[in-house]
């Protein structure tokens, strides 16, 4: 079983450099094209099903990819919603720097909570789909920190409509690629 995280396509808030978080913002036309372009990146694996976060930008990205690959569009999983940034959602980088220079936003969801939700979602998708190769469309922060936790190393920002693959390794998971690029294994010990 191979799984892949795909970050949703661009939204107007992404374009305007606004902190989006769990606010339900739809894709813009660029984001729809990014979703169509991601289909070529997925070549080489026999993908069978695609699931997503329930937020519109993720659900529409999943729908476009499902249609393009001719695969099943599965359900939305609440665990895959993006990190809640509290009062900072919708704010530009300039406003954030002015109001919250330490980035300690009122109502901010902890990274531990985000990783716990991401890990729970992976296990739930695995339980629901067994050995089927499954695509998971969700959001940059949950992808970045969940993969960092699985791999035991830090990853950079996740690009819109990029693909990150991982597979089952014993009782855990092995990260194979991030942002459409292979990940070199880090020797342990």
Q: What is the pLDDT of residue 47?
A: 97
Q: Are 80 and 121 in contact (CB under 8 A)?
A: yes
**Phi, psi (rounded to 5 degrees) for 105:** -75, 135
In a domain, 46, yes or no: yes
Q: What is the Rg, in whole angstroms, of the alpha carbon atoms belonging to the chain? A: 16
- Residues with catalytic function: 8, 82
**Helix segments in the chain, DSSP class H:** 12-15, 29-41, 56-69, 93-99, 111-129, 140-151
Query: Please, is 12 exposed, middle or buried when counting C-beta atoms within 10 Å of its C-beta (0-12, 13-18, 19+)?
Result: middle
Q: Residues near 95 by Cβ (< 8 Å), separated by ≥ 6? A: none
DSSP for 95-147, written as a single string: HHHHH-TT---TTBPPHHHHHHHHHHHHHHHHHHHTTS-EEEEE-HHHHHHHH
Q: Is residue 151 part of a domain?
A: yes
Q: How confident is the model at residue 60, as a pLDDT?
A: 98
Q: Is residue 188 situated within a structural domain?
A: no
Domain count for the chain: 1
Q: Cα–Cα distance between 179 and 162 in angstroms, integer?
A: 5
Q: What is the pLDDT of residue 44?
A: 84
Provide the whole-model pTM.
0.94
Cα distance between residue 104 and residue 7, in whole Å: 25
- Looking at the domain assignment, is residue 189 inside a domain? no
- Binding site residues for substrate, as ranges? 7-14, 57, 82-85
Would 64 be classed as within a structural domain? Answer: yes
Q: What range does the domain containing 142 cover? A: 2-182
Cα 22 → chain centroid: 13
Q: What is the CATH number of the domain that holds 18?
A: 3.40.50.1240
pLDDT of 186: 53
Residue 187 lies in a domain: no
The annotation places the binding site at 7-14, 57, 82-85
Q: Is residue 58 part of a domain?
A: yes
CB 84 within 8 A of CB 21: yes
Q: Answer whether residue 40 is part of any domain.
A: yes
- One digit per residue, the tens of pLDDT, for the chain of length 189 reads 899 999 999 999 999 999 999 999 999 999 999 999 999 999 889 999 999 999 999 999 999 999 999 999 999 999 999 999 999 999 999 999 999 999 999 999 999 999 999 999 999 999 999 889 999 999 999 999 999 999 999 999 999 999 999 998 888 899 999 999 999 765 443
Sign of CA dihedral 48, 54, 57, 59: positive
């Amino acid at each position: 079983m191979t799984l892949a995280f795909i970050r949703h396509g661009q939204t107007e808030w992404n374009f305007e450099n606004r902190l989006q978080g769990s606010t339900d913002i739809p894709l813009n036309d660029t984001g729809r094209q990014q979703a169509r372009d991601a289909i070529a990146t997925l070549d080489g694996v026999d993908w069978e099903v695609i699931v997503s976060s329930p937020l519109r930008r993720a659900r529409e990205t999943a729908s476009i990819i499902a249609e393009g690959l001719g695969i099943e569009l599965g359900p939305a999983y609440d665990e895959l919603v993006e990190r809640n940034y509290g009062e900072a959602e919708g704010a530009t980088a300039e406003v954030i720097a002015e109001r919250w220079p330490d980035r300690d936003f009122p109502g901010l969801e902890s990274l531990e909570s985000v990783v716990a939700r991401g890990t729970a979602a992976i296990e739930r998708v695995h339980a629901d789909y067994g050995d089927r190769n499954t695509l998971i469309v969700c959001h940059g922060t949950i992808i970045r920190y969940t993969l960092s936790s699985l791999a035991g190393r830090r990853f950079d920002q996740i690009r819109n409509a990029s693909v990150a693959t991982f597979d089952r390794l014993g009782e855990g998971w092995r990260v194979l690629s991030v942002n459409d690029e292979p990940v070199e294994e880090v020797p342990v010990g």
